[in-house]
Chain A
Amino acid sequence: MTDTMSEETPTEEQRPLGVYTRPKGGNGWRDWVTTVDHKKIGILYGAAALFFFIIGGIEALLIRLQLATPNGTVLGAEMYNQVFTMHGITMIFLAAMPLAAAFANYLIPLQIGARDVAFPRLNAMSFWVFLAGGIFINLSWLLGGAPDGGWFGYAPNSGIVFSPSVGMDFYAIGLQITGIASLVSAINLTVTILNMRAPGMTLFKMPVFTWMLFVVQLLLVFAMPVIAVALFLLMFSRQFGANFFNTEMGADPLLWQHLFWIFGHPEVYILILPSFGIISEVIPTFSRKPIFGYDFMVFSGIAIGFMGWGVWAHHMFASGIGPLSVAAFSISTMFIAVPTGVKILNWIATMWGGRVKFSAPMLFSVGVISMFTIGGLSGVTHALSPADTQQTDTYYVVAHFHYVIFGGIIFGLFAGLYFWWPKVFGHMLDEKMGKINFWVMLVGFNMTFGPMHVLGLQGMSRRIDTYSPGFGFEAWNMVATIGSFIIALSVLIFLINVVVSVKRAKGQPPCPPDPWDARSLEWITPNPTPEHNFDEIPTVESLDEFWHRKWGTDDEGQIVRVATAEEVCQDGTATGVHLPSPSYWPLIFAIGLPFLGLGLIFNLWLTLPGAILIVVSLYAWIFEPVDDPDGPHGEHHSDKEEVSQEASDV
């Protein structure tokens, strides 16, 4: 590291602060690995999440190939169990959560009028730790077998006796690593939202997206420690022979289930609320109306956040927890449908009477409304606990949560990708291909997961690597497999769209600042967002601040233009804005963690380089100078900004 540093810093004498120096901003890969810019970190999150989304998708296709026909032989039982476990882990922890983190990182500071998050280096650390964790879990494929106990890892099947390969060790330690990333990021964004809002931006002038993400961060802060405890118990059981789940020593195997689902159910809302937030921005924009019932939207989100903690045992209606617990959780589950229903009705009311433009982001948002409704309604049938004993662990449940996770979350995230793509990259995605993308995905999605309702009611169990002919499962499984490849096609269309649009935009000036006639503050910056975000931190007067700067009402109450988008938008040319300097240490810290994991699994000596990397990087981090006059915007800056900078550069 010293070499790199001396390369970048001409002479020690010129450095006014600190013993360690910080890398300078610049171009190329070094800029990306040292960046603490929330926007670049958001892009990194998005790229990594899409990469893992494709990996998880390939795993899904393998599952569908295996199940296309009875007595399938594509994978075999041993491989199938690893593939379906990794499909779940990858999609939840390595695709859906980080994709939401990508939007959160990029947009929250912009939506609240901040220059960055509260702790920029911690933010970088979150990303690198997540990536290290994701790579670590996937290393298991090469180092002795992937986890094979399901993403839910029920004890004692996840124990060393019943899962002797190293897979579940990678699961226990890998998810612990990605958990650190989520937890740190959640604290960071919580502080950001609470402390770094622009003047005038009260909590109830925050866009619904930021509100939903705020609820998500609070859920993460409380949910991640629970899974951390469960994973530590599992790790100690497997590595050091602890008896937390050893029933022969009197352990109760339901301990794991409770811990897992106390985390696991809030996790569902951690996944869905970002999508709710995204479409709550998209729908008003394309309906040319403000969001219907802003307060109710916000409070229903908060209500979901609270009630989400009281429903976990509905995953355990067949576990033998006793009729009284079942009754209580049955009722709480029933009523969590209410705030969710309120949201759906408010989105419909937002569109109602509007002048709705069904562009690609809007199509995906309407997709969320209708597809998530199906998932929500099948969810209500699970709340009927007696009926759930027929449904649970069948394909009916698989159908249900894919309508929620794919129909509700992935569609929402795609809406976000199409909506904010010009904001992030300065050019539009092709609209026509976007629409084709949507329709192909909608057809493929319904072909894949719709039949699973029928399969489940016909009695097809989950997590079976094959089935016999004669139970009536053949036809619908084939349909589902064909559907899954149509989904794959739609993702391919998206990737082609990205490539084509990037090529088309080469050499062209960036797209105009306000392509959608948008409403919230992030659009006040030019496209793509300059490194310093705002030339001048705006003073906020109303919800939908950006829209209100463009449009006003005349004496008759008619809406009239008061300014064009070009007039309202900043031009991004400000200089002298002080920004946090890049740092190597978040990355170095993150590299240390997988070594700790590998050491625990294979040879304790391997923990040594890991520990050294972690200790050194943390010390270096602490002693890193808070200010770097040679930073990317290192010209002289005002005292006021310096104060706010130092406060945020901890």
Chain B
Amino acid sequence: MITKIIKKTWLALFTSALLLVTGCASGAELDTLQPQGPIAREIDNLLDPVLIVAYVVFFLVFGATIFIWWKFRDRHEDEEFPTQVHGNTKLEILWTIIPTLILAVVSVFTLITLSSINSTDTNEVMITVEEESVLWEPEVVVIGQQWWWEFRYYFDGLDGVDLSDARNLPPADIVTAGQLVMPAGQEIELSITSRDVIHSFWIPALNGKRDAAPGRVHPWKLEADEPGVYFGQCTEFCGLSHSRMRMQAIALEPEDFQIWVDEQLTDQDSDLITNEAVSRGLTVFENQCARCHVVNGVNDETSIGADLVSNAAPNLTHFMSRTTYAGGIFNLYEPDGTIDRTQLEAWLRNAPAEKPAYAEGRRGMPALGLSEDEIDDVVAYLETLGTIPSSFIIQATEVE
């Protein structure tokens, strides 16, 4: 109770100061003190009382300093000395033991929380995969690479899946990028790894962070109370565009999640072609983009890779069902649900100008030298890939 009050005051203090300075309400999408799921809440509950103890200690020390300044400041000119105290063993023992005891108590709670957030408590979810019911233990493979995140879903479970070489993974049921889609109210197990350098996967509202390291698979988990869009940012320095490596976790109601799964599982082959522009766009895609990007039904992961250090570029199947691209830094849609073509075209025209990358070092998307007509065609083609997500997701993606 007291913790809540003090925390509220504290937050209010900072927020009000913030409001004073900015004059407007500001976002809290990445706020670590506003947990939106049980794991993050547990962490927050561990921190809060310690923050209070820390405040008390600080004000005692600070108060003592102020008191000394007020009481023991030298105001005299004579040479008189204060009592020469050399020490006090009892006092020393006292102020060694008291902090030790406080910290011992804190340690116990730390260990309890630590063990709790490292244990898994997942319930299997019944989902339909290609008209067959599957008991899916919700697991998502998370792969970091310069400078975007990939998410892979294996509905048969990860038991037989070899994740030791992230650059050469077995085919997955769903491969998506930038946005991790998951059912709300359900603990999701993550297996985090990397295709190049060390990254760190972090959705502050749902859990702390866990590094993605090449050659290692790190377990982690997420859980959201409610459907929503939860923001994240790579937090281990991973080179040039580290700041532009972002992601979201999108939690959906179980039935919406099923709809999402159904959509993602459909291939996107040539029968999507409705007009000439799309057809030309597909040709450009096959000639240029398909060297790195996969669209299920057009090509597959075995046909790509050689062009990039990480052996992977975002899988673009059902591209339009996402709301961000290019490592989560651009919004695909305006708040009203129309496509932000200007940004998408600029990205296709000259990607390195939009997001720093070492394209010549085979890291990041290069400028492909497409003509304006080709760019229009590719956009027309991309528009056929998937359906627009629900407006609540589009609006929640907006942070500005």
Q: Which residues in A have some Cβ–Cβ distance to B below 8 Å?
A: 76-78, 81, 148-150, 154, 156-157, 161-164, 247-248, 250-254, 287-290, 292-296, 318-320, 323, 326-327, 330-331, 334-335, 337-338, 341-342, 344-346, 348-349, 351-358, 366, 369-370, 373-374, 377-378, 380-381, 383-394, 454, 456-472, 474-476, 478-479, 551, 559, 561
Contact = CB atoms under 8 A, between A and B. Distances in A.
A465 B239 CA distance: 10
B82 A370 contact: no
A154 B235 CA distance: 13
A263 B29 CA distance: 36
B235 A469 contact: no
A387 B207 CA distance: 10
A327 B152 CA distance: 30
B99 A337 contact: yes
Sort A-B residue pairs by CB-CB distance and give the 4 closest, nearest first.
A389-B208, A459-B30, A464-B243, A472-B26
B68 A330 contact: no
B209 A393 contact: yes
Given A293-B88, A370-B62, A457-B32, A162 B239 contact: yes
Given A247-B215, A462-B237, A559 B107 contact: no
B218 A475 contact: no
A386 B46 contact: yes
Contacts of A356: 68-69, 72-74
B317 to A, nearest CB: 27
Contacts of B210: 318, 320, 389
A81 B68 contact: no
B243 A253 contact: no
Nearest to A469: B400
B110 interface: yes
Interface of B: 14, 18, 21-22, 26-33, 40, 42-44, 46-47, 50-51, 54, 57-58, 61-62, 64-65, 68-69, 72-74, 76, 79-88, 91-92, 95-96, 99-100, 103, 106-107, 110-111, 113-115, 117-118, 146, 167, 192, 196-198, 200, 202, 204, 207-211, 213-216, 218, 231, 233-244, 309, 329, 356, 361, 363, 398-400
A458 B31 contact: yes
B87 A293 contact: yes
Contact of B213 (A162, A254, A383, A385): A254
B242 A463 contact: yes
A169 B293 CA distance: 34
A391 B32 contact: yes
Contact of A290 (B28, B86, B235): B86
Contacts, number: 314
A265 B88 CA distance: 32
Contact of B99 (A341, A454, A456): A341
B208 A338 contact: no
Contact of B61 (A293, A296, A373): A373
Contacts of A389: 43, 207-210
17 contacts: A157-B239, A163-B239, A248-B167, A254-B213, A292-B87, A320-B211, A327-B111, A331-B110, A342-B96, A355-B72, A355-B74, A369-B61, A370-B62, A386-B46, A394-B235, A459-B32, A465-B242
B43 A386 contact: yes
Given A247-B214, A323-B118, A342-B96, A460 B111 contact: no
Contacts of B58: 373-374, 377
Contacts of A479: 21
With a 10 A CB-CB cut-off, give which of A149, A345, A346, A358 has the most chain B CB atoms: A345
Given A154-B237, A387-B50, A394-B32, 17 more contacts: A154-B197, A161-B196, A162-B309, A248-B167, A289-B84, A319-B211, A348-B65, A355-B81, A357-B73, A373-B61, A386-B110, A393-B236, A463-B237, A465-B242, A468-B329, A470-B398, A470-B399
Given A288-B81, A330-B111, A389-B208, A357 B399 contact: no
Contacts of B96: 338, 342
B107 A474 contact: no
Contacts of B192: 320
B82 A77 contact: no
B213 A294 contact: no
Contacts of B244: 77
B46 A384 contact: yes
A348 B236 contact: no
A155 to B, nearest CB: 8
B72 A353 contact: yes
B203 to A, nearest CB: 10
A475 B21 contact: yes
With a 10 A CB-CB cut-off, give which of A157, A389, A393 has the most chain B CB atoms: A389
With a 10 A CB-CB cut-off, give which of A77, A370, A466, A561 has the most chain B CB atoms: A77
Given A345-B95, A369-B65, A381-B54, A330 B33 contact: no
B110 A335 contact: no
A387 B43 contact: yes
Contacts of A164: 361
A337 B46 CA distance: 18
Contact of A476 (B18, B209, B211): B18
Contacts of B106: 334, 380, 383-384
A331 B104 CA distance: 8
A373 B56 CA distance: 12
B198 A318 contact: no
B46 A335 contact: no
A126 B157 CA distance: 59
A422 B33 CA distance: 50
B235 A475 contact: no
A335 B101 CA distance: 10
Contacts of A323: 114-115, 118
A383 B114 CA distance: 11
B110 A385 contact: yes
B23 to A, nearest CB: 9
A148 B242 CA distance: 12
B141 to A, nearest CB: 15
Nearest to A331: B107
